[in-house]
């Protein structure tokens, strides 16, 4: 009997520890999220205790506080105006695709714990010299840009041994990258738009390397133009170039997919951002798409 008790004491921590499939969500403002918490259906208002989320503090280039955060329970408030000092999160009145993504991916993985790591900043671009950007070889100022904030986010997220606070170390396994970005590159210039394909390939290779899986599934959301520009109707003069680059990327990468549900979305009066219901639909489509890719890439 004593031996049995000792054996249970030895193996019980392993039985309590969890393995989490982790998804990284990144990009610019439509990943950051302009959805209004006040417009959410009641099923999305309650914290989803079984899904953990680490959202890195959004910060401009040159700022040293980008990527700070703490693990939290998935709930509304991780959208526009979210912030963190690394010791506490300040949730906002807004949400992004992460909310419905978390609900849907948890429903798909009923017997598997899931977690989300998010870092996104509105207006950020892949192209060098376009304000806040993700260009990995950035050399302006102190050299800190969005790519550095992404790495800081990962470092802090993965350094926490017990993300659910149950007293046992958890294991985090990267399962996918979700990317909603490209509007800034399509808006800025012909040069940044035509460089989008090479920049996208480069940054996704670096993301996969940082997450230690060269074939990690990548799901992107198609950028769409609101056609609300007062002069020529186009918000993004080179939108078609970036859209083609997105399509080319997924056609050339067997572990990538493009979510095109955004084609049916309408925009807010600012001509850039989606309505609350759109973000819920987008997050669900991201989850469905990455689930299919996970199965596809596992058999390739």
The pLDDT tens digits of the residues spanning 68-125 come to: 999 999 999 999 999 999 999 999 999 999 999 999 999 999 999 999 999 999 999 9
Q: Closest by alpha carbon to 282, among 85, 37, 16, 99? A: 99
| Distance from C-alpha of 98 to C-alpha of 176, rounded to nearest angstrom | 13
pLDDT by position in tens, the chain (length 300): 444 343 333 334 444 579 999 999 999 999 999 999 999 999 999 999 999 999 999 999 999 999 999 999 999 999 999 999 999 999 999 999 999 999 999 999 999 999 999 999 999 999 987 889 999 888 777 789 999 999 999 999 999 999 999 999 999 999 999 999 999 999 998 999 999 999 999 999 999 999 999 999 999 999 998 988 877 778 899 999 999 999 999 999 999 999 999 999 999 999 999 999 999 999 999 999 999 999 989 776
Q: Is beta strand 35-36 parallel, antiparallel or unpaired with respect to 94-95?
A: antiparallel
The predicted structure's pLDDT at residue 11 = 39
The predicted structure's pLDDT at residue 143 = 82
Residue 52, burial from CB neighbour count under 10 angstroms (0-12, 13-18, 19+)? buried
Q: Closest by alpha carbon to 94, among 175, 36, 142? A: 36
The predicted structure's pLDDT at residue 16 = 58
- State the architecture of 18-299 in CATH terms: 3-Layer(aba) Sandwich (3.40)
pTM across the whole model: 0.93
The predicted structure's pLDDT at residue 140 = 76
The predicted structure's pLDDT at residue 142 = 79
Give the end-to-end CA distance of the chain in Å, rounded to a whole number.
49
Residue 220, burial from CB neighbour count under 10 angstroms (0-12, 13-18, 19+)? buried
The predicted structure's pLDDT at residue 300 = 65
| Distance from C-alpha of 158 to C-alpha of 60, rounded to nearest angstrom | 22
* Rounded-to-10 torsion of CA 98, 99, 103, 108: -20
Structure tokens belonging to residue 279: 């973000």
């Amino acid at each position: 009997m004593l031996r049995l008790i000792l054996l249970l004491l030895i193996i019980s921590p392993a039985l309590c520890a969890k393995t989490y499939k982790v998804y990284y969500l990144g990009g610019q403002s439509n990943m950051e999220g302009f959805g209004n918490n006040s417009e959410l259906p009641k099923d999305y208002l309650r914290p989803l205790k079984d899904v953990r989320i680490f959202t890195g503090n959004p910060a401009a280039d040159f700022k040293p506080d980008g990527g700070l955060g703490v693990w939290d329970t998935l709930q509304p408030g991780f959208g526009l105006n979210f912030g963190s000092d690394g010791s506490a999160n300040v949730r906002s009145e807004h949400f992004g695709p992460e909310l419905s993504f978390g609900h849907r991916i948890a429903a798909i993985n009923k017997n598997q714990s899931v977690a989300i790591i998010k870092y996104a900043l509105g207006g950020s671009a892949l192209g060098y010299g376009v304000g806040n950007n993700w260009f990995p070889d950035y050399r302006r100022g102190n050299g800190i840009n969005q790519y550095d904030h992404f790495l800081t986010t990962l470092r802090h997220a993965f350094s926490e041994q017990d993300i659910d606070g149950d007293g046992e170390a958890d294991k985090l396994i990267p399962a996918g990258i979700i990317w909603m970005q490209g509007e800034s590159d399509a808006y800025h210039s012909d040069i940044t738009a035509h460089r989008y394909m090479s920049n996208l390939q480069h940054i996704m290779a670096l993301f996969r390397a940082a997450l230690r899986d060269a074939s990690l599934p990548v799901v992107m959301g198609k950028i769409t133009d609101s056609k609300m520009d007062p002069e020529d109707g186009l918000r993004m003069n080179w939108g078609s170039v970036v859209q083609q680059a997105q399509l080319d990327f997924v056609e050339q990468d067997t572990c990538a997919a493009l979510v095109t549900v955004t084609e049916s979305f309408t925009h807010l009066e600012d001509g850039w951002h989606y309505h609350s219901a759109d973000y819920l639909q987008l997050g669900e489509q991201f989850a469905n798409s990455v689930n299919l890719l996970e199965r596809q890439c596992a058999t390739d």
